[in-house]
Amino acid sequence: MELKHFWNIIRQRWWVVALVFALALAYAGFNYLKTPTNYGASVELVVRQITSTGETGATLPLTLTTSATYVYTYDSYYRYYSSEYLVDDFDEIVKGRTFANTVSDTLASAVRKSDSRYQQGYTLDGDHIYSTIGASRIHRIMTLVATTDKPQQSLNLVLAAADTLVQKGGSFLGDGIHDDVGFQIIDYPKGIDDVKNDRSKKLTSAVIIVLLALIIGLALAFLLEYLDDRVRDVGDAQRVTDLPVIGRVPNKGTLP
C-alpha cells in the first residue's frame, strides 16, 4: 500500500482514533488529578553480626599461636558472610505488624522528647504504619523506605524505623541471638527536602496511557478498514476486480 492510501484510511476513520484518544486522555487526566500523591523517604543501614561484648569479630581469637605457626579460625569471615542472610530476614521483618507497633512506640517517644530530626506533631499507630514500610538490600546494605500521603509522616516513619532497628533490631529474631545483630545508619534524610514524591511517575504513566491509546486507535481504524468490504472509490474497485475502470456514475446532484 502507498502512504497516501494509509492517510486516506486515517482520514476516513479519524473518529475512531479521536474517540479512543479522548477516552484515554480523560481517564489519564482523572487518575493524575484524583490519585493522591505519595511521598517516600529512605534510610540506608549496614547490618552486621557482633559479639556478646558488643564488638565486631569473633568471641575467640582470630589467630592461635603455637611456635611460629598461625591458625586462622574463620570466625570473622563467617560473621561477615552470615550478615547477608540477616538482611534477608529483616527484609520481611520490617513489613510485619510487630515491627510496625514497635516503630509507633519509637516515633511517639522521639516526638515526645522533641528530637530535632523528627517533624513534631506527626505520629501514627501501628495499624496505620503497617504496610507503609518496605525494604531492599544489596549485600549487607539495607534500604528502608516509608511511603505515605504526607511528607512529614514519611520522614518520621523512616527515621523511627531506622532507630528501632538500631536500638532493638536483635529482639525481632528471638532471645537466643539478641546480642548478635547490629545496625548502623549510613545515610538518612535531613529534612522535608530529602523526601521524594511520585508526581513524575504519575505523569509518565499518564503519557504512556495516552500514547498507547493513540496506537490502539490507529490499529482499530485499520482493522475496521480491513473488515469493511464495501467499494467506495476507483481504487477499491480496481483492487477488488483486478480490472481497469473505464467509467463511473457520479453521485446524485453532482451532474451539471
pLDDT at 90: 83
pLDDT at 212: 94
Q: Which of 120-129, 157-166, 197-206 has the lowest mean pLDDT?
A: 120-129
Q: What is the mean pLDDT of residues 185-214?
A: 88
The DSSP string of 187-219 is E---SGGG-EESHHHHHHHHHHHHHHHHHHHHH
Give the residue among 168, 176, 167, 182 at the shortest CA–CA distance from 87: 182
The Cα–Cα gap between 71 and 95 comes to 42
Q: What is the pLDDT of residues 223-246, one digit of tens each?
A: 888 887 777 677 777 777 777 777
pLDDT at 141: 86
Q: What is the mean pLDDT of residues 206-219?
A: 92
**Type of residue at 36:** P
Angle between helices 97-112 and 151-168 (to 10 degrees): 100
Tell me the pLDDT of the chain averaged across its residues. Answer: 79
pLDDT band at residue 61, thresholds of 50, 70 and 90? very low
138 or 211, higher pLDDT = 211
Task: Locate the domains of the chain by residue range.
Answer: 3-34+201-241, 39-197
**pLDDT value at 68 more than 60:** no
| Rg over CA atoms, the chain | 33
Q: Which long-range contacts (CB under 8 A, 24 or more apart) does 49-53 make?
A: 49/79, 49/80, 49/82, 49/83, 49/86, 49/180, 49/181, 49/182, 50/179, 50/180, 50/181, 50/182, 51/179, 51/180, 52/179, 52/180
> Which residues, in sequence order, are bridge partners of residue 118?
none
pLDDT band at residue 214, thresholds of 50, 70 and 90? very high
The Cα–Cα gap between 107 and 91 comes to 20
Residue 245, judged by CB atoms within 10 A of its CB (0-12, 13-18, 19+), counts as exposed
Q: Could you give the 3-state DSSP secondary structure of residue 249?
A: coil
pLDDT at 60: 36
The Cα–Cα gap between 60 and 219 comes to 72
> What secondary structure letter does DSSP report for 243?
S
Where are the alpha helices (H) located in the chain, listed in sequence order? 3-12, 14-34, 75-93, 97-112, 126-129, 151-168, 199-227, 234-241
Q: What is the mean pLDDT of residues 34-55?
A: 77
pTM: 0.66
Q: What is the pLDDT of residues 4-20, one digit of tens each?
A: 777 877 888 888 889 99
